[in-house]
Amino acid sequence: MPYLKPFLRGLVRSGPSRRLRAWLDEAGTNGGAAAPAPARFCFIHIPKTGGTFVTQHENFDRSVLFPIRNLGHATVVDPDWQLLWDIPAPFGEANAVPTACLDGRIVFSNVRNVFSFLVSYFHHAAGSIDKYRNPHHYDFAAAKRGFDYLLKTIADRDMIWPSRRLVHYQLFAQPTGTALVSWLNCTASLDVHLHEMAEAFGLGYRQGKPQRIGPAGDYRSYYTDELADLVDRTWKREIELLGFALDEPHCRYSPLEMAARVRAMKYVLRNDQFISAESGNDPWSSSPAKAGDPVTTDLSNRRTTVFTGCPLSRA
């Protein structure tokens, strides 16, 4: 039976089998209970920030921290959210998670130095690693024209993620802009920060295997002075908020300090506006805008999607 072994191997590696093993592992870790402990900790996976390492997606989904709920590439939305304006392409309705589903939950995520992020995204879009090559990726053609061309393309667009708007916009609910996170890991310090998080919150911790490794090399070698200035100008707010710089791959703040800085702000994606949660002013604007000011973008011809389901209530 020459086809039996490949069939069984595929069955063992299938998504349902991986999820079943992860469920059994969590149940055993929590004292052999009939069901795993409720996952109070919810992880938002912002692409290219090390989220696959946290979830160990290629290692049978045996997450480094446990028990956690992996929300995937989620955008947390308020009841009046609108597709495209509050969830940019290529994400869609399937990525929407209602704010009500996070009541009583603790949200965490990873953030990455924007300079490093853009180089990693370039290799992802260009298919630099054959295993993950996707010639249908929406940025494949631009990436094939070189890093500088892709970077300038991203810095000049609004509606497709990533864009000149906030790379880490998923840290905020849309469209209110309310910050969500209580803990932020820095991608460059991920091993250390995940271990610190496990100790701080009493979570289970296990060593993770490297996931989706990109090409070797120093991301700084991709930047000319012109490109570095472009990134500084375009993503200045994000770089300053999270404590990054071209020559500083690690964040200068601790996970709790980063989360506190984010919670002190609101970010509204649809009009690309940072607002101080305390004063209602935009600290990066010469003409302060108050929270609740009308959005100037005309949304009258857009379909309003009200998401009433609660995906977190499902196993």
Per DSSP, the three-state class of 158 is: coil
Average pLDDT, the chain: 84
Q: How confident is the model at residue 181 (pLDDT cuts 50, 70, 90)?
A: very high
Of all residues in the chain, what percent carry a pLDDT higher than 70? 78
* Section 225-236 average pLDDT: 98
Q: How confident is the model at residue 257 (pLDDT cuts 50, 70, 90)?
A: very high
Q: Kind and range of the H or E element at 76?
A: strand 75-77
49-95 residue pLDDT tens: 999 999 998 877 889 999 999 999 999 999 999 999 999 999 999 99
Distance CA(26)–CA(20), nearest Å, equals: 10
CA 271 to centroid of chain Cα atoms: 20
Task: Please state the length of the chain.
Answer: 315
The two tokens of residue 37 are: 């402990």
Helices 114-126 and 225-234, interaxial angle, to 10°?
Answer: 110
Residue, of 233 and 2, whose pLDDT is higher: 233
* Section 112-118 average pLDDT: 98
Distance CA(196)–CA(276), nearest Å, equals: 28
User: How much is the pTM?
Assistant: 0.81
* Section 242-261 average pLDDT: 96
DSSP 238: H
Query: Which one-letter amino acid corresponds to residue 11?
Result: L
Q: How confident is the model at residue 166 (pLDDT cuts 50, 70, 90)?
A: very high
Distance CA(256)–CA(159), nearest Å, equals: 31
Q: Is the pLDDT at 285 greater than 90, yes or no?
A: no
Q: Given this model, what pLDDT does residue 252 score? A: 95
286-306 residue pLDDT tens: 543 343 343 333 333 333 333
